[in-house]
Amino acid sequence: MKLNERSLAFYATCDSPADNTGFLYKKGERHTAYHRRWFVLKGNMLFYFEDRDSREPVGVIILEGCTVELCEAAEDFAFAIRFAGSRSRTYILAADSQPAMEAWVKALSRASFDYMRLVVRELEQQLERMRAGARPKAEPLVPPRRERSLPSGGLRENGCAVWSQEAPSLPNGSLPRTSHEGGPRPPPLPPRRKPSLGSSPAPLLVPETPFTPGTTTFSRLHDWYGQEILALRREWLQSRGQL
């Protein structure tokens, strides 16, 4: 399959934010020798370089659909990137320390496009609800599942835990807190509109967004929300007799 490799190489080396970087030992495909490589995680792409100052990556592991597991390999601090499918390759990597290994496993298990999209949609909806006047609610994140079959070895590998691309949970395993279970309540929203007569909700200065979340361009959303700011500002200037 053709792939725009030059663009991939550019993505790997340009100064857009990396989600994790560091040296890892990578087990060779056919031989058991480990090679030390400089790894750069950006989005759902894990690039690896011969060395830290190499100009081009040796290769890339496309992470979409993978699961990340601890494994008992010959090396300490080893973990595996596995894919579904009978003839898929498993990548065995090893870090230099326990904290480094944990950081990599965590970063890689949340590297999918789906995960990022899930979090964006969640915040987008929260913002929508807030603009409509409701209080922000915390709900557990449930990722949309792509159809994936499990690796033939099952989910438990040598009795070790498996990190896959599931909904995030707190380190102690509990579900995320909801806003009404302990902790301070969020502060009341600042008054945004002049109150209308009685206790009915204030009329919106601009109509409800015509966009369904997640279906329009970011710049359009930004422009659209900006209208309200402009309207408020005009109002304020008028009230000060400056218009």
Partner 1 sequence: MRYNEKELQALSRQPAEKAAEIGMRVPKKGSVVKRRLVKLVVNFLFYFRTDEAEPIGALLLEHCRITKEEPSGFSISFIEEPDRKYYFECSSEEQCQEWIDALRRASYEFMRRSLIFYRNEIRKMTGKDPLEQYGISEEARFQLNAPQPTGIECRKEEGLLGRAEISPNSFWPGGGGGRT
- Tell me which residues in 42-81 interact with partner 1 (CB under 8 A): 42-45, 56-62, 64-66
Task: Count how many Cα atoms sit within 13 Å of the Cα of residue 94 in the half-sphere of its side chain.
Answer: 18
User: Least Å distance between CB 8 and partner 1?
Assistant: 6
- Tell me which residues in 109-168 interact with partner 1 (CB under 8 A): 110-114, 116-117, 119-120, 123-124, 126-127, 130, 136, 138, 141, 146-147, 168
Question: Per-residue x/- mask for partner 1, residues 15 to 44, rule CB under 8 A?
Answer: xxxxxxxxx------------------xxx
Phi first, then psi, for residue 63 (nearest 5°) are -90, -5
Contact assessment for residue 202 and residue 194, using Cβ atoms and an 8 Å cutoff: yes
Would you say how long the chain is, in residues? 243
129 vs 194, beta carbon nearer partner 1? 129
User: Least Å distance between CB 29 and partner 1?
Assistant: 9
Identify the sign of the CA torsion 156, 158, 159, 162. Answer: negative
Q: How many residues bind partner 1 (CB under 8 A)?
A: 83
100 vs 205, beta carbon nearer partner 1? 100
The rounded distance, in Å, linking the Cα atoms of 63 and 40 is 12
97 vs 238, beta carbon nearer partner 1? 97
- Tell me which residues in 169-208 interact with partner 1 (CB under 8 A): 169-171, 176-179, 186-187, 189-190
The rounded distance, in Å, linking the Cα atoms of 49 and 14 is 14
List all residues 6 or more positions away from 144 whose beta carbon is below 8 Å from its beta carbon.
Answer: 114, 118
